[in-house]
Homo-oligomer: A and B are copies of this chain.
Amino acid sequence: MAQVLADRREMEFVLHEQFEVSRLSEHQEFSEFNRKTMDMIMAEVRTLAIKEILPTLKIGDQTGCRYEGGKVTVPPEFKRAWNQLIRGGWFAPCQNPEWGGQGMPHALHVMAQNYLIGANMALLMVAGLNQGAGRIIEQFGSDEQKKLYLENIYTGQWSGTMALTESECGSNLGDLSTSAVKNEDGTFSLTGNKIFISGGDQDMTENIIHLVLARIVGAPEGSRGISLFVVPKFHVNADGSVGERNDMVCTGIEEKMGLHGSPTCSMALGGRGKCIGTLVGEENKGLSMMFLMMNEARLMVGAQALSCASSAYLYALDYARQRIQGPPLSGKDRASVAIINHPDVRRMLLTMKCHTEGMRSLLCYIAFLEDQKKTSKDSREKERYQNLIEILTPVGKGYVTDRAVDVCNLAVQVFGGYGYTSEFPVEQLLRDVRITTIYEGTNGIQAMDLLGRKLAMKNMGLFLDLINEIKTTLAEAQMIHSLSALSGKVETAVNTLCQVAEKMDESVRGEAVLRAYAFANPFLEATGDVIMAWMLLWRAAIAEKKLEKGVEGKEADFYEGQLNSAEFFISGFLPVTMGKMASIMDLCSAAINISDASFGGK
C-alpha cells in the first residue's frame, strides 16, 4: 500500500544514517532515547497520525470552525484527536518531564512532527502553541505561574496562545497599543484588541492560557516599552481548579484561504473592564522574551511547511503511479501508460522529492544542533551550535516555506484537473501551506533577518561557521570518485555564495543599503539553494558508501534514489542558483529608484 505523510525509510535515513541522532543517548540528558526507543516512538507517532489525526483533515477544511454567541467551536472530531495527542504526550515532547514534558530530542520531535502535522496542520497548529507558551512560563514565569498553568499546558489539558498582533501592528510589534494598568494586588488590568490569534478560542480544552503583549501605562514608546502577561480564559484558583471567566473574549474569526480547522481569532481584552493578567518576568522585557522563543516558533513553521510538502509529494507520487493517460513518448507502443512514465511528470516528481528531502534534512539538522548544544560541555562548541542555529533559522523558515508552497503547487499540477478539486487532498494542502510564508515573520522579514542581522553578526562569524560545515561535507564527498563532478559544482556554488555574502554584507552597511535590501529575498533564496545542495550531497555521499559496500533490492533502490536526487538538484537547479547569484552581484537599483507614481495604478 502507498505510504502517506512521509516515507518511512527516508525518515530512518535522516535520523539514523545522516545524523545518527541516537548518539545523543550517550549523554545523560537523553539517556532514555536510544535507537530502539526512537524507532518505537516513530512507529507509534506514525500510527497515531495515520489512524487518528489524518481522518480529521478534510473535516477540518470543510466543516471548519464556527463562531457563534461569543464562542468558537471546532469540528467535534478534533476533540477526540486532541485527546489522542494528550495520551501520546505530544504537547510538550521536548520539555521538562518535571512539568509534564517528555524530554525528547528536538531532532526526533521534528521528524515526529512531520507525521502529525502532515496529517492535519490546522489541528496541530493549535496544539503546537502549547510548547512555546509553556516554555515562556517555565523560563520566565514566577513559581506561582508555573504552579498554576505549566503542567496543564505541557500535557495538553489546557491550550496556550500567543496574542501579539493588532490590526495596525503586525510585522512591527513595537507599535502595539494594548495597554496594562497595575492593580493594587500586583495583577494588571488589560485593555485592547488583538487579531490573528491562532486558537484564541476553541472548545477542545477546559481552559486557554493566553500570553499577551501589552504596554504598561507610562512605559517607553516603541519596542522598549512592551511587557508580557499571562491572561487565562478562566481564572485558576489556588487549588488548580478552574474559576471565573476572565474578560478576554473572542469577537470573531477570520474567513481565510485555508487552515479552516484552526480558528484565527479577534480578541477583545477588557471590554467589560475586567481583563486581569499577571506579568511574566520583568516589565518592558516582553519583546525580548518573545524573541527568545522566536527561533523555535519559526522552525515549527518550517516543519509545518515541510509536512505539507511531504504529504503532497507522496499523494502526487501515488496518483502518478495509478493514473493511466497517454502513450509513452518514445518507442512504438501506443497504449496509454501510468503518467509516472512521462518525462514532465518525472521532472515534477523528482523536483518535489529532492526539495522535500533536502528540507527534511535541513530541519532535522537544525533541531539536532539544538540537542547537541544542550549536551555539549564545551562553551565554544555550544557557541558554534548556536551560531549555526541562528543563521539557519531564516532559511529553515523562509526558504523552506517558499519551496514547500512550490512543492504543493506541483502536486496539484501532477493531479491535473483532479488536483483542483476537493476529491484529492492536494488543493487543501496548497491552501493550508500558503500561510507558512506569512506568519511568524513574513518571509520578507526572514530575508531581512538573514541579511541585516545574522550575516553581519560576529564579523560574519555565523556565516563562516556555516561555510565550514558545508566544506566538511564537501571534503568527504570529494573523496568519493563517483561524486567528484557533483562536488565540484557544489564547491563552485559555495565559493560564489561567499563572494555574494561579502558583497551583500558590505552593501548593507554602506550607501547601497536599500539596493541590498531589495535583494535580501534573492540572497535568502540563493543561500537556501546552496544549503539544499549541501544536504543532498551529504545524503548522496552516505548512499554511495552503502552502495559500494553492496546492498540489494529495496535498499539499493532507496540509496540510488538519493543519488538521483542529488544529481537532479545539483545539475538541474544549481545552475539556476548561479544565475540568481549573478543577478544579486549586479544589485540592480530599479526597485529602489522607481518613483511611487511610476508604479501606476493612480
Write the residues of chain A forming the contact surface with B, with a CB cutoff of 8 angstroms: 2-3, 7, 9-10, 165, 168-172, 175, 196, 222, 254-258, 264, 313-314, 317-318, 321, 324-327, 329-330, 334, 336, 340, 342-350, 353, 405, 409, 412-413, 416-417, 419-423, 427, 430-431, 434-435, 437-439, 442-444, 447-448, 452, 513-515, 517-522, 554, 557-558, 560-561, 564-565, 567-568, 571-580, 582-583, 586, 588, 590-602
| A593: chain B residues within 8 A (beta carbon) | 564
Known: A558-B598, A583-B573. A591 touches B350 (CB 8 A): yes
Q: Are A255 and B422 in contact (CB under 8 A)?
A: yes
Closest chain B CB from A347 CB (angstroms): 5
Tell me, in angstroms, the Cα distance from A349 to B327 when the chains sit together: 43
**Stoichiometry, copies per complex:** 2
| Closest chain B residue to A349, Cβ basis | B599
| A522: chain B residues within 8 A (beta carbon) | 572
Q: Are B343 and A518 in contact (CB under 8 A)?
A: yes
| A344: chain B residues within 8 A (beta carbon) | 444, 447-448, 517-518, 520-521
| Closest chain B residue to A557, Cβ basis | B597
**CB pairs A–B below 8 angstroms (25 shown):** A168-B325, A196-B417, A257-B421, A317-B599, A317-B601, A329-B517, A346-B518, A346-B591, A346-B594, A347-B518, A348-B444, A349-B599, A413-B438, A413-B444, A416-B438, A420-B434, A560-B595, A561-B594, A564-B590, A567-B590, A568-B591, A571-B590, A576-B576, A576-B580, A577-B579
Cβ-neighbour of A578 out of B573, B579, B596 (below 8 A): B579
Tell me, in angstroms, the Cα distance from A347 to B592 when the chains sit together: 8
Tell me, in angstroms, the Cα distance from A578 to B257 when the chains sit together: 35
Judged by DSSP, the binding face of A is helix
Indicate the member of A168, A346, A448, A600 with the most B CB atoms within 10 Å: A600
Q: Are A431 and B568 in contact (CB under 8 A)?
A: no
| A515: chain B residues within 8 A (beta carbon) | 343
Q: Are A346 and B568 in contact (CB under 8 A)?
A: no
Cβ-neighbour of A329 out of B170, B313, B318, B513 (below 8 A): B513
Cβ-neighbour of A557 out of B9, B430, B439, B595 (below 8 A): B595
Q: Are B600 and A10 in contact (CB under 8 A)?
A: yes
| A583: chain B residues within 8 A (beta carbon) | 571-576
Closest chain B CB from A560 CB (angstroms): 5
Tell me, in angstroms, the Cα distance from A1 to B401 when the chains sit together: 35
Known: A344-B518, A417-B165, A600-B353. A580 touches B591 (CB 8 A): no
Q: Are A434 and B416 in contact (CB under 8 A)?
A: no
Closest chain B CB from A65 CB (angstroms): 14
Q: Are B340 and A257 in contact (CB under 8 A)?
A: no
| Closest chain B residue to A254, Cβ basis | B421
| A576: chain B residues within 8 A (beta carbon) | 576, 579-580, 583
Known: A513-B329, A558-B598, A595-B560. A438 touches B417 (CB 8 A): yes
| Closest chain B residue to A2, Cβ basis | B601
Additional pairs, 4, CB under 8 Å, beyond known A330-B513, A344-B444: A175-B325, A557-B598, A560-B598, A564-B591
Known: A330-B514, A420-B435, A600-B317. A571 touches B595 (CB 8 A): no
